[in-house]
Amino acid sequence: MIGYIRLEILRLVRNGGYLMMSLVMPVGMYLTFAGGGPDQKSLAQSMVGAAAFGALGVVITNGTGIAEDRALGWLRQLRLTPLSPVQVVVARGAVATCLAILPITVIGLIGAFYRGVELSAGTWVAMFFLLWIGIAPLAMLGIGIGYLFKAQLAQIAGTVTYLGLTLLGGLLLPIDNFPSWAQEVSRATPVFRYAQLSWSAADSAAPAASGLGVLAVWTALLAVFAAFAYRRGGRRA
């Protein structure tokens, strides 16, 4: 499975356009209007939201690439290898999670050297780690979209999902500005709970147990969704 992960990463790295597009929108949004307020807490929270936005874009966009691979017969080729469906899904999730490191790192550097975010070394490490590892369940969502839909529909579904979860999850606009009912809905989303991990770390606070519970439930549900989509996509490949 390690060899397959390496192969998929190399395929995507060679596609320079894909990597650049994964940075254009989050960096542009962060530089234009998501910089945060004058205090350090607001600056750090805005940076985390922008980094989470970029990571989410990478893992959701990954679904379009999967759908395109299916159209080219790549899924049929995989079924001739010893890899099990679970191994394929886990490997694609690992690849998407690794690619999310790029926008997280770039947004972090902009936050530190341009926006003036000042945090301790330990806080920087904790935030980076949580932004990286916490995106894994949402990577399952992107994989599921890729295996469930054809390429054009996967692109549309991915874009709608990306923008919808960004707005509902409060990545670029604090949910305190939402109506009370919308705040409750937002707190139930995996995107809000994902970003909350690093928001808490930036504030030197432990993650809320309720948030971890919600994220754990979503992780299980989205993993099942990805496995179901892989099997269904395989029958239609």
pLDDT for 99 equals 84
Reduced to 3 states (helix: H, G, I; strand: E, B; else coil), residue 16 is helix
| CA pair distance 55, 51, nearest whole angstrom | 6
Q: pLDDT tens for residues 179-199?
A: 999 999 999 999 999 999 999
Enumerate the H helices of the chain as residue ranges: 2-14, 16-32, 40-71, 74-78, 85-99, 101-113, 121-133, 136-148, 151-168, 180-187, 190-202, 209-236
Distance CA 145, CA 66 (A): 9
pTM of this prediction? Answer: 0.90
Q: What are 175's two structure tokens?
A: 């949910």
CB 220 within 8 A of CB 136: no
Each residue of 57-109: pLDDT tens digit?
989 988 888 887 777 776 777 766 767 777 777 888 888 888 899 899 999 99
Q: Binning pLDDT at 50, 70 and 90, where does residue 214 land?
A: very high
Would the CA dihedral through 203, 198, 158, 214 be positive or negative?
negative
Residue 158 and residue 65 in contact, taking contact as beta carbons nearer than 8 Å: no
CA distances from residue 105 to 23, 98, 129 in whole angstroms, order as listed: 10, 11, 11
Q: What is the rounded average pLDDT of the residues 204-224?
A: 90
**CA–CA dist 191, 142 (Å, integer):** 13
Mean pLDDT of 139-155: 90
DSSP assignments along 125-165, one per residue: HHHHHHHHHTTHHHHHHHHHHHHHS-HHHHHHHHHHHHHHH
